Structure 1
Amino acid sequence: MSLDPVRRPSLSSEVIARLRHRIASGEWPVGARVPTEPELMEQLEVARGTLREAVRALAHAGLLEVRQGDGTYVRATNELSGAVKRLYGDSGQEHLLEVRQALDVQAARLAAVRADDAALDALADALTRRAAAWDANDFEQWVAADWDFHAGVAEATGNPLLNELYRNLAAPLRASMAAFWDSPGFAGAAPAGHEDLLAALRAHDPAEAARQAGANITETLAWHTNGPT
């Protein structure tokens, strides 16, 4: 059986690759407006049709957002992040928490075995900042510290795939936390699922770490469904 001849990639594929590189490298950060169509056509030396085909492909992948009459903006740094943002907008917080439950529990279990002292100290620092932000009623710092803790647990697993999957939850997770901040009775500095999880990690107890991580998400799900109990 003969093989099909190898063909040069299409011009639009090359344009897609160049635009994706600018996004992934941070040259065009998330939220930035990309250069205008005439500017890109001049820079890349391509026709309008080729450029529009590339932009449509990246918009479909979730990396770009075309706003009619305004311009084209960077929506995500990679296809996975773009898909997460798009799906979160359609699904909502309950589905996000269900996915987090699977990732958080496994991350805690692995981190209890693999986390070194430097990683554990960084988690402790995040919790100190989290408590201080809660006491100061500083929402932005509280969200940042809480995210640093959970993302730090994922990184401490030493599993690059799990870590990458978790980090792509950053934007929807931060957005979802706003719903809890002003809720009456919400205990944003409670030790359960955080300080208690860190204690299990320091004790290198995978079962207890997984239990703490699971309980944290279960409680949050219950709060989302039923409100304070």
Structure 2
Amino acid sequence: MTTNRSDSTGRPPPAEGFTPRRRPLVDQVIGTLRQRIISGQWQIGNRIPTEPELAAQLGVSRNTTREAVRAVAHNGLLDIRQGSGTYVVATSELVSVMRRQFEGADPSQIAELRAALEVGAAQHAALRRTDGEARQLYELLARREAAWRRGDAHGFLDADSALHRGVVAASRNDVLEAVYADLSEVLCPPLRENAGEQLLPARYTDLTRLIGAIIRQDSPTATREASRTAEWKEGCVQQSGVRTGFGSDRRVVAL
């Protein structure tokens, strides 16, 4: 006689080899939409495909697509604009939360928080970086310096940001990397919007010693250089007047 075992809910356990019902289809679509945003396939500012286009791409009904898009928008990653379309506005739910939490906050205080993360990242990067990451940091530093020499303001900002992200990635702390990326997404856009085309020597800081210390795996020097750079960047943010613009000269500073 077969014993009918059951769990605490009174339901019998699934038969051996039986796969429980997959999560609802709408959840799968939500996961797909989030992945396209997180992976960068859909970047901030991009308008995503229309509802009929998405439904056709994913092979689901328009009702399912509509529900999934609304859920992702509710979480702060998408903005549904009537008559215009749906746009990507954040790459993670945490960014949306941070924007609400820090709305009206002094940008210099946000910069201080990000600087603290950068110092810790540099310390750990010097201890944990791989040979491949060391080569990548050297290449990113060279790209930053080349952009500065040719007076390419936007290229310099992009290269500077990539170099700092590279240092954080070399810390080999996934949580630190994720929080840093989200915090940068909150802080950097206002600075970029107010930045201009002019690169001034007074607004430049040399990162050669910082990157060199990380490559040599000299953690104390890397920490010290990161602290120096962080103090400089905090001063730039305080002087930049993010809320009202950089001023009439619209000078570029590193982010």
Short-chain TM bin: 0.7 to 0.9
- Structure 2: state its 5+ residue gaps: 1-6, 12-19, 241-255
> For each residue in 1:95-148, what CA deviation from the matched residue of structure 2 results, as whole angstroms up to 9, or x when unmatched?
431221221011011011122343233223222222222232211210121112
Q: Which residue of 2 aligns with 1:190?
A: 205
Q: Which residue of 2 aligns with 1:208?
A: 221
The separation in 2 between residues aligned to 1:116 and 1:16, in whole angstroms, is: 35
Greater share of helix residues, 1 or 2?
1
The separation in 2 between residues aligned to 1:130 and 1:188, in whole angstroms, is: 14
Higher mean alpha-carbon deviation, 126-135 vs 35-44, is at: 35-44
Match of 1:130 among 133, 144, 159: 144
Are the structure 2 counterparts of residues 176 and 217 from structure 1 closer, same or farther at C-alpha, using a change threshold of 3 Å?
farther
The separation in 2 between residues aligned to 1:135 and 1:172, in whole angstroms, is: 29
Matched residues, percent identical? 37
The separation in 2 between residues aligned to 1:39 and 1:190, in whole angstroms, is: 47
Higher Cα Rg, which structure: 2
The separation in 2 between residues aligned to 1:155 and 1:165, in whole angstroms, is: 11
Contact persistence 1:109–1:209 (CA under 8 A): yes
The separation in 2 between residues aligned to 1:26 and 1:224, in whole angstroms, is: 27
Match of 2:46 among 14, 32, 40: 32
Deviation (angstroms), 1:172: 4.0
Higher mean alpha-carbon deviation, 176-185 vs 26-35, is at: 176-185
Determine whether 1:96 maps to 2:110: yes
Alpha-carbon RMSD: 3.4
- Structure 1: state its 5+ residue gaps: none
Tell me the TM-score normalised to structure 1 length: 0.76
Determine whether 1:219 maps to 2:232: yes
Contact persistence 1:23–1:74 (CA under 8 A): yes
Contact persistence 2:122–2:167 (CA under 8 A): yes
Tell me the TM-score normalised to structure 2 length: 0.70
